[in-house]
Amino acid sequence: MSDWRGNGYEDWPAQVLARRFETLIVDEPVPRVLRVTINREDASNAFNTQCGHDLFAVFHPLEIVRNHFRCVVLTGAGTKAFCAGGDLKERKHLTEDEWVLQHEFFERTFRHVLNCPIPVIAAVNGAAYGGGLELILQCDFAYASRTARFALTEVSLGIMPGGGGTQTLPRIIGERRAKELILAARPFTAEQAHAWGIVNELCEPDELMPRTLAIAQRIAENAPLSVRQAKHSIHRGLQMDLDSAMLFEIEAYQRMVKSEDRVEGVRAFNEKRKPVFRGR
């Protein structure tokens, strides 16, 4: 179920760690945690076309390959910016058709982040503007440096949020505040982002990555089937009425009963030892 053997994905975890991406750094800083760093520090880690392709190459297989990584941490290189959004220096050379095609690919990449079956945590190390903030909103939750800054400024450029911002932000902070921030292109602080629920925790800059990796490792140590089913149940259930969502949760729960990890978890508890989960 989780290995997809025979489909060419068996060695993907090793392959992605060995691959040299043009715009990303990909590593495994703690066991079973995949860290993806947008590595365009000289451009404030803005998305260019290649960055979209590189992110797609990482996140698309994660919908299929579930036999190794159990959590993803997404961040930006340096301390200045998490991601400044779309690279407008590149975009000024695009025709209208090229702009549309590029954006369609970015949309597809963002959907793979949103639909990633394993948890994705953003470690927001600096400015997150435009598509950078929208990328954070696609993640399951985020930790941020106290120096981080946020904004959806698209309407000041003659466009509008197109990476999900008009849909994800209101679901997190409410319609009226989201309208204020989007329609006025109003920047806001890390403290405001924390108060409004956009980020879960604020850290000193040098503590951001250790704190994020600590929660990622805690997630990775739990039963992977259980984590994936719980994430799926939360995300889908919030789009249903409560009665339907409760039934959806029970169906997700029942899938755990016959798993090897359920047997191991109960056995380890009774034997007073740490469980060894295998995702089966």
Residues assigned a catalytic role? 134, 154
263 contacts: CB under 8 Å, gap ≥ 6: none
DSSP for residue 41: G
DSSP reduced 3-state for 226:
helix
234 contacts: CB under 8 Å, gap ≥ 6: none
Half-sphere exposure of 49 (CA within 13 A, CB side): 12
User: Could you give phi then psi for residue 85, rounded to 5 degrees?
Assistant: 90, -155
Helix or strand run (H / E) with residue 18 = helix 12-18
Instruction: Tell me the C-alpha distance between 172 and 179, whole Å.
Output: 12
**Inter-residue contact 89 to 43 (CB < 8 Å):** yes
**Inter-residue contact 29 to 40 (CB < 8 Å):** no
Instruction: Tell me the C-alpha distance between 278 and 280, whole Å.
Output: 6
Instruction: Tell me the C-alpha distance between 275 and 47, whole Å.
Output: 41
